[in-house]
Chains A and B, each alone.
Chain A
């Protein structure tokens, strides 16, 4: 197990500038603004508003998971599998409940 230990590399900490968080935050605010604008103003054709805002939300969630929550597809295969399983079961349950009730 010790082979998995992160070595005490101070340089990896220094490379990690805070800028990517601010950039990712700016992108999240932009996506949110687009979603609100799509609903509040008549700029998107009627039938497209809901699919559009759902896609914007999904993009934002992936931004959170992979930048703010530091998920890494290669390094954290197990944690990613927990979330993917959770999302899969969750979506199946949500869609089933919404349709069947």
Chain B
């Protein structure tokens, strides 16, 4: 009953928490949380900037005129659901169920892509209404915050897709498990940021 796990065990089935079974995996998880702590500070600064500048819309449209609550609600449901599907993917990994893991991460990618599609549509609409990056301080702060979040979604989609291609070649082992675990952590973080975006940007924009 040794706690030691080496890679030859992988064929006999992964341990209960394969992402923490190796020193490399544990270090990756720890390091990734440090990155998420730093990302929290970055996004917080964008939120602060947005709150300071959201009233400075020059002659362009205001938050009240721009935001469409039904579309924000749809984006929110999509992203929240994708957070659930990615955790089910990790759950599949913990059960050593390769097919379940791949299926649910695949669903996560599709939901992420539909979120991006909606966001692009939204930005195109806003530009037609005169809300542009260089049009006002409000525009700059808005697109910086939303654009950085959207870039994170795009990166997450690309990351999970490439991981799935790699897993098809290599299978699920102690080397791949931490990668999928980190990708799901990243995806949840992106969702956490969106929770604040729909609250602080969209809902508060409709209230005041």
Please give the residue numbers on chain A whose beta carbons come within 8 Å of chain B beta carbons, in ascending order: 1-14, 16, 18, 21-22, 25, 28-29, 32, 35-36, 39-40, 49-50, 53-54, 56-57, 60-61, 64-65, 67-69, 76, 78-79, 82-83, 85-87, 89-91, 93-101
* Contact residues in A for B94 (Cβ distance below 8 Å): 13, 16
Hey, which bits of chain B sit against chain A, CB under 8 A? 1, 3-5, 9, 13, 15-17, 20-21, 23, 26, 29-30, 33-34, 36-41, 43-45, 47-49, 51-53, 69, 73, 76-77, 80-81, 83-84, 87-88, 91, 94-96, 185, 188-189, 191-192, 195-196, 198-200, 203-204, 206-208
Pairwise interchain contact A29-B77, C-beta atoms closer than 8 A: yes
A25 touching B84, Cβ below 8 Å: yes
| Number of A-B contacts defined by CB within 8 Å | 162
In the complex, chain A residues whose CB is within 8 Å of the CB of B9:
8
A53 touches which of B5, B96, B204 (Cβ 8 Å): B204
Q: How far is the CA of A12 from the CA of B189 in the complex (A)?
A: 25
Which applies to chain B's interface (DSSP): helix, strand, loop or mixed? helix
Instruction: Name the residue on B nearest A31 (C-beta).
Output: B195
Select which of B23, B44, B83 is within 8 A of A93 by beta carbon: B44
Q: Are A8 and B16 in contact (CB-based, < 8 A)? A: yes
What are the nearest 10 A-B pairs in CB distance? A90-B44, A86-B37, A97-B48, A94-B48, A101-B52, A86-B40, A8-B15, A82-B37, A98-B51, A13-B16
A91 to chain B, nearest CB (A): 6
- How far apart are A2's CB and chain B's nearest CB, in angstroms? 6
Contact assessment for A61 and B195 in the assembled complex, using a CB-CB cutoff below 8 Å = yes
